Copies of this chain bind each other. A is one copy, B any other.
Amino acid sequence: MTHSASSGEPVNVRRGRRPAGEDTRAAILDAARAEFSAKGYDACSLRAIARLAEVDPALVHHYFDGKAALFVESMSLPVNPSFLVDAILAGPREQIGERLAGTFFDTWDSPQGRERLVALIRSAVSNEDAARMLREFLVHEVFGKVASSMDVPEPHLRAGMAAAQMVGVAMMRYVIGYEPVVRASTDEIVALVAPTLQRYLADLSD
């Protein structure tokens, strides 16, 4: 133990606040899960999370690189979608569907990834808070960002259709378990899905 109530307080712990280090980090993650569940991604502020965790707001910024990163860690998502979206947007426009589909399945198609995605989908289907959290996060942080930067008409509707395709594939592959979709390789799925995402997010031809 690095400190205890009876042996004098370490210098970096203020009265009524938690100590710095792993305990603080864990307390922030617990508070974030509670806040994200109660209010959803959009309505949840880092300040409110800090208050609930009984830490200085500066510590939230010290441990986590913004709200999206904190959400990712509190939901145990394996990667920060901001990096993915930046990487997806960095390449040529005519392959954006392929990069998005490839990145999505690289991230989610591992046993750990699919376990988390199924947990998110299951939560969203049975619980309105989780549904709000999933839709605001998925669409605002990933598909909506891509669609907006592509300068297509109705980017949010198109983002919703792209997200629908991926949520649907996740349903068929991980939840409903339709055999031909379960058996298909990641590459086969990406090859089928990439032109769909491309059309929704970047093409104006129809």
Contact = CB atoms under 8 A, between A and B. Distances in A.
Interface of A: 121-122, 124-126, 131-132, 134-135, 139, 154, 156-161, 163-169, 171-172, 175-181, 184, 188-189, 192-193, 195-196, 199-200, 206
B125 A158 contact: no
Contacts of A176: 124, 131, 134-135, 167
B177 A135 contact: yes
A163 to B, nearest CB: 6
| Residue among A167, A179, A195, A200 with max Cβ neighbours from chain B (10 Å) | A167
Contact of A196 (B156, B163, B196): B196
Contacts of A124: 175-176
Contact of A168 (B157, B158, B165, B184): B165
A193 B168 CA distance: 13
A49 to B, nearest CB: 24
Contact of A161 (B154, B157, B169, B206): B169
Contacts of A171: 125, 164, 167-168, 171
27 contacts: A122-B125, A125-B125, A125-B126, A126-B126, A132-B177, A135-B177, A139-B178, A154-B180, A156-B179, A156-B180, A157-B181, A157-B192, A158-B192, A159-B180, A161-B172, A161-B192, A164-B169, A165-B168, A167-B172, A167-B176, A168-B168, A168-B169, A168-B171, A192-B200, A195-B206, A196-B196, A196-B199
A189 B156 CA distance: 13
A139 B199 CA distance: 24
A143 to B, nearest CB: 10
| Residue among A135, A164, A167, A193 with max Cβ neighbours from chain B (10 Å) | A164
